[in-house]
Chains A and B, each alone.
Chain A
């Protein structure tokens, strides 16, 4: 069992943090929602697992490729 990083695919701002630290997430489950180009873009944990850390705050800007969360799984 290792950890992996969940990265934002788009630049924008954090609209909502959906998952909480410690929570188990299904593969493809949404961790945070980024607002970009007037759309609410989900940032998902491809392989699922437990949320180890959330690295962003609601309302904060986020850049393409930025780590938003660390997952254990």
Chain B
């Protein structure tokens, strides 16, 4: 046997074979299982958080975790070169399965030096780590369970020099976004690189109350700006999810978070060369809900519950909303119809009448890109009066970000089905149709459209005529009534300007049939989608 510092000498009188080494292997593995030791684990539990090993166990199929790099860490030896202990590297990762499908999964171990970076010959996780490479090379989804603050100035001391930003760069993280699904779950406090990776994902989630995410934490903020702020106010879910939309969804606790990750990946293919998984559907595709007939009020000033409408049309319990608490003017949801995955984008009349503001536009852009990347056809349920108006909206660059949502829709190559249930006006309305594809739009009898709503347009377009009338107000109402009669959706259908008007109760059967027919096209188009051009 060749003694080396990494191996303990074989005990005297050891039997033939490698039992001694295998015993040592077992010891080393047990040390890895201890994480940062009982006290650190207890502190971590005390903060209401699970350890990385408990997280992986809670997320993946039972018994499916096949760890990679379990022996990595900092070994300590006695003078005779016998192993005393190994402090494990603060990252645990490997191969596992979710509902029988392989995934690469990993996360920082906060109980070892707060999950800060560790320098071995090769990185296990983080930017350019083995777990990212495995997801990329095997074309399987990546799940980041993030609980770390990234770099520390102490690394300057350790290395003897300051590392240039990007030595451990995001190039692999970015390449993954065009290749396989990437999910990031912020499970603790994330700043720096780990926070960056939380964002470089197709979908991100954090835990309310026990996780925070920011570019820099409270001590840096206080030094830079003199602001005293605690980490929950700076980067808790209320700010990062609800107000800023930095992270997509929030879970009530870690267990719910794992369920959401599993749910999200259930709608996605393993990689961009495959199609999203269809499921057998026991919800009849010809189910026609009576409630759809009067869900849109005749009084167009009255809003209605768009989420209820979606539940009535899509497969039962199949809706999974992305960013439910951000950009509320639009609802973006993965869903199934007839068992096939679709991405639903629906305007929400309860929030500013469904007018697209910057937040809603950002949300819509991301969702369109997500669905386009993974060959998920889009279904628009349209009731949009246009872009949000007013000084605040202009100051927030609604026009620019709104036009970027138009750009995103026009770059998408997945089939888009458009169901106009209410208003469809202006550029925001145009962005709901498949102008580069079949441009297939059906409308409910409650639909109305144009370049702008008649009420707003009459006063401007017929200004002189109205001013010259004996009773200007009456003349304005008269012109409005006349235009409205001509603006009936049935007349546009006569001109084949909209492909059909349907009974709202037929929506499910109708959509299901066309989504089914589009599957062949989706198969042909499967693969990576390069994007060219400059978005506004």
Q: Is chain B found bound to chain A in the same assembly?
A: yes
List residues of chain A with CB under 8 Å of any chain B CB: 9-10, 36-42
Q: Say whether B328 contacts A40, CB under 8 Å.
A: no
Residue in B302, B349, B351, B385 whose CB lies within 8 Å of A9: B351
Hey, which chain B residues are within 8 Å of A36, CB to CB? 352-353
List residues of chain B with CB under 8 Å of any chain A CB: 301-303, 328, 349-353, 355, 385, 455
Q: Say whether B301 contacts A40, CB under 8 Å.
A: yes
Known A37-B352, A39-B349; further 17 A-B contacts with Cβ < 8 A: A9-B328, A9-B350, A10-B351, A10-B352, A36-B353, A37-B385, A38-B301, A38-B353, A38-B385, A39-B302, A39-B352, A40-B301, A40-B302, A40-B303, A41-B350, A41-B351, A41-B353
The 6 closest A-B pairs by CB, nearest first: A37-B353, A39-B353, A37-B352, A40-B301, A10-B352, A39-B303
Hey, which chain B residues are within 8 Å of A41, CB to CB? 303, 350-351, 353
Rounded to whole angstroms, the CA-CA distance of A36 and B328 in the bound complex is: 15
Rounded to whole angstroms, the CA-CA distance of A38 and B354 in the bound complex is: 11
**17 residue pairs bridging A and B, Cβ less than 8 Å apart:** A9-B350, A10-B351, A37-B352, A37-B353, A37-B385, A38-B353, A38-B385, A38-B455, A39-B302, A39-B303, A39-B352, A40-B302, A40-B303, A41-B303, A41-B350, A41-B351, A42-B303
Q: Say whether A37 contacts B355, CB under 8 Å.
A: yes
Chain B residue at smallest Cβ distance from A10: B352
Q: How many A-B residue pairs have CB under 8 A?
A: 30
Rounded to whole angstroms, the CA-CA distance of A42 and B350 in the bound complex is: 8
Chain A residue at smallest Cβ distance from B302: A40
Rounded to whole angstroms, the CA-CA distance of A37 and B353 in the bound complex is: 6
Rounded to whole angstroms, the CA-CA distance of A36 and B350 in the bound complex is: 10
In the complex, what's the smallest C-beta–C-beta distance from B360 to chain A, in angstroms?
13
In the complex, what's the smallest C-beta–C-beta distance from A7 to chain B, in angstroms?
12
Hey, which chain A residues are within 8 Å of B328, CB to CB? 9
Rounded to whole angstroms, the CA-CA distance of A42 and B303 in the bound complex is: 8
In the complex, what's the smallest C-beta–C-beta distance from B536 to chain A, in angstroms?
24
In the complex, what's the smallest C-beta–C-beta distance from A71 to chain B, in angstroms?
19
In the complex, what's the smallest C-beta–C-beta distance from B178 to chain A, in angstroms?
36
Hey, which chain A residues are within 8 Å of B301, CB to CB? 38-40
In the complex, what's the smallest C-beta–C-beta distance from B246 to chain A, in angstroms?
19
Rounded to whole angstroms, the CA-CA distance of A45 and B353 in the bound complex is: 20
Hey, which chain B residues are within 8 Å of A10, CB to CB? 351-352
Most buried by B among A38, A39, A41: A39
Rounded to whole angstroms, the CA-CA distance of A39 and B329 in the bound complex is: 13
Rounded to whole angstroms, the CA-CA distance of A4 and B455 in the bound complex is: 39
Chain A residue at smallest Cβ distance from B389: A37
Hey, which chain B residues are within 8 Å of A38, CB to CB? 301, 353, 385, 455
Chain B residue at smallest Cβ distance from A12: B352
In the complex, what's the smallest C-beta–C-beta distance from B426 to chain A, in angstroms?
13
Hey, which chain B residues are within 8 Å of A39, CB to CB? 301-303, 349, 352-353
Chain B residue at smallest Cβ distance from A36: B352
Chain A residue at smallest Cβ distance from B386: A37
Rounded to whole angstroms, the CA-CA distance of A9 and B352 in the bound complex is: 9
Hey, which chain B residues are within 8 Å of A37, CB to CB? 352-353, 355, 385
Hey, which chain B residues are within 8 Å of A40, CB to CB? 301-303
Chain A residue at smallest Cβ distance from B392: A11
Hey, which chain A residues are within 8 Å of B352, CB to CB? 10, 36-37, 39
Rounded to whole angstroms, the CA-CA distance of A38 and B383 in the bound complex is: 14
Rounded to whole angstroms, the CA-CA distance of A10 and B348 in the bound complex is: 12
Rounded to whole angstroms, the CA-CA distance of A38 and B299 in the bound complex is: 11
In the complex, what's the smallest C-beta–C-beta distance from B324 to chain A, in angstroms?
13
Hey, which chain A residues are within 8 Å of B353, CB to CB? 36-39, 41
Rounded to whole angstroms, the CA-CA distance of A42 and B305 in the bound complex is: 11
Rounded to whole angstroms, the CA-CA distance of A11 and B328 in the bound complex is: 14
Rounded to whole angstroms, the CA-CA distance of A2 and B385 in the bound complex is: 39
In the complex, what's the smallest C-beta–C-beta distance from B423 to chain A, in angstroms?
10
Rounded to whole angstroms, the CA-CA distance of A10 and B385 in the bound complex is: 16
Rounded to whole angstroms, the CA-CA distance of A42 and B301 in the bound complex is: 11
Hey, which chain A residues are within 8 Å of B302, CB to CB? 39-40
Rounded to whole angstroms, the CA-CA distance of A39 and B297 in the bound complex is: 12
Hey, which chain B residues are within 8 Å of A42, CB to CB? 303, 350
Chain B residue at smallest Cβ distance from A35: B301
Hey, which chain B residues are within 8 Å of A9, CB to CB? 328, 350-351
In the complex, what's the smallest C-beta–C-beta distance from B505 to chain A, in angstroms?
25
Hey, which chain A residues are within 8 Å of B349, CB to CB? 39
